[in-house]
Structures are given as C-alpha cells and as structure tokens.
Structure 1
Amino acid sequence: MTVKIAVLVSGRGSNLQAIIDSIERGYIKDAAVNLVISNKADAYALERARKHGINAVFLDPGRYDRSGYDRDILKLLNNYDVDLLLLAGYFRILGSEIIDAYRDRILNIHPSLLPAFKGLHAQRQAFEYGVKVAGCTVHYVDEGLDSGPIILQSCVQVLPDDTEETLTGRILEQEHIIYPEAVRLFAEGKLKVEGRKVRSLD
C-alpha cells in the first residue's frame, strides 16, 4: 500500500525537494507526494511540485477566516485521500480541526534542537544566545507551538567564525537528511508514539 503524502509549504521548498528526491531514488519506498499546498502564490515549492507532476495548489488566506481556510485544506486532503501530512517551511499554525483529523499523522521539521528556540527564526535565536551546539528536529504536530513528540534530531556544531547564515546553511543540510528519514520510518510503520516519546522500530 502506497502512503499518500501532502505537503504544506510557504517558501522555497528545499525540504520538499529532499523528500521527493528520496522517494524517486527509492530510499523512501511505498510512498508518494500527491499534493502540495501553499499559502503563498509565489512559493517556489509550488514550482518544484509541478516539475515532478505533483498537484500544486495555492490557497489564498486573504479570502478566508482562519477556520474556513483550514476547512478547505482539510477538504483537499480528503479529496486526495492523504495518509500523511508534512509541514515544510509552512508559516501558519494549523487549527485543531486538521490536527484532530490527522492526529499522529502530521510531521514538521524545525531548525533547532527542541524544546529550545521554538517559533520563527530559530537559527537566529540560537546564534544570538551563544549556544555551542545547534541543530534540527523532526516532530509530530500537536496543538502547541513546536511542542509535539520528537521523532529525530541532528546536532550541528557552532563554529567560532560562524554567522547566522553559515549556521543556517549547515542546519539545513541536516534537515535534508533527517526529514526524509522520518518519512521513511513513518511509511514503513516503524514509528510508535508512547506519550511524549517516539520509539523507532527500525
């Protein structure tokens, strides 16, 4: 059975590309990205999707109230019979209706070692705080801000001559490794949520 994936995006979509590439080269088996939805008309992620023959949809948030917007997303997810919902640089908070419908089936990638530096500009937060180790986290999405159970994390050493930009670049390289890995584990049925902890059966 093929796991049908939808991805919510707002920007360039480099994590989307990493997942598409991992599926196409066979690293992630029995899974397909069938739908990409963006709240930004000019998000390059939509173009990435089209290049791979994936349905790409722009939903204009200016035409909805918040609950109406989420309802139309949910309608699309149902129409495409989506099994797994991924957030990849999606700069909106999901409402409870979507979270309830896809409980333990929504993943997000965040550019910090959660629970540190939640929210926007996590790399800048870490850099300005002066941490010696930064990184990224794949986690399940719940009703809180970057607060769901953690699936995978990867550490990145902060170098003495780092800038926010160089640190961000090295964190992104790790995102492109651990996000496809988490999707692979999910697609193979190897993730088990036990309260706040996620066990990998790999």
Structure 2
Amino acid sequence: MGLAVCVFCASSSRIDPHHVELAAEAGAELARRGHTLVSGGAQVSCMGAVARAARAGGARTIGVIPQALVSVEISDEDNDELIVTSDMRSRKAEMDRRSDAFLVLPGGIGTLEELFEIWTARVLGMHDKPLVILDPTGVYDPLRDLMTNLADQGFARPKIFDAVGWTGSVEEAFDLLEGRPVRIEPTAEDYAEAEP
C-alpha cells in the first residue's frame, strides 16, 4: 500500500518556471509509485502543478488550505478531498496528521516554516516519518551551510542531518521516502537544550 506523501512547496507565481516543472515531475512520480498526495490545497504555482500531475497519473490528492487563503492561493477544487481549516497552525497539524512522509521542494518562508517544524519534531524523536529535501538547483545550499554552521557552533547537534534526506533527484527522493530512514532517538542532553 502506498504512502500519504505531504509535499511542501511554493505558491508564488514569480518563481522560475522550471521549479513548477519540478513540482509536476514530483507529482507524476508520486502517482507512478502508487502514493497519495497531501498538499497545501492551492491550484497556483508549484502547489497546483504537483496536484495536477499526481491526479493525471491516477493518484488520490488531499488539499489542506486555511480559510484566509482560499481566495488568495485559489483553492484547488479538483482535489479528491479539500479541507478548509481555520488558520495556518491547524492547516499544518492536519497535513502532518494525514501524512506518512514529507517531501520539501524549493519554496519561500512558508515552505521553510513547514520544513523546520517537521525537521525539529523528527530530531526530537516526536515522529519517525521520513523527511526529504528535493533541491536539484541548489536553492537550499545556503540553508545547508547555515545548519552546518549552527552545528559547528554548538547550537545544533550534528545528528540533525541524520533526520533529513537531501537530494537533487526526483527518483532518489522517493527512494528515500520509501526507505524510512532510521528513527532518531533523543538523549536527555537533547532535551536539556533550548534548540534541537
């Protein structure tokens, strides 16, 4: 049986079209492998592209969008299931609850917020759902450098990188999602620190 894969990605219309193409490629691969898509419920930009491609391949799609963004991001009424939440926090909680794995595509601050919440919870042992960043063009290279620097400076443990897969290949991203990386077990020392 397939996974429910949550895809975090951009809703901006100002990005390079090849990012939208990447989202469509990810949606097509998700469908090819028999998975269900959980996404932000919008029909614009990468969010719309991943959902349309997944549906075109026969995948079930679940969209989750907050009421305040229904008209802004233009809710994707073609989803098999469209859930409208009261706010952003409940949107993320619903996406998390319905997902077995997380795929992060290039995106803006909303995508980063979603990434960090899932990444932090995984580092702290609050879930063992696979998390993979798909970044073939290096959009997140500065983020990777920042996280390495935080670990070097002692603000984060080196094992933060054990909690996330990082790849530039759509096929490898789904291989990692399906492989369920080893669960991170937190230590007492981890909980003694303010930051993961």
After TM superposition, the score normalised by the length of structure 2 is 0.49
Higher strand share: 1
Higher helix share: 2
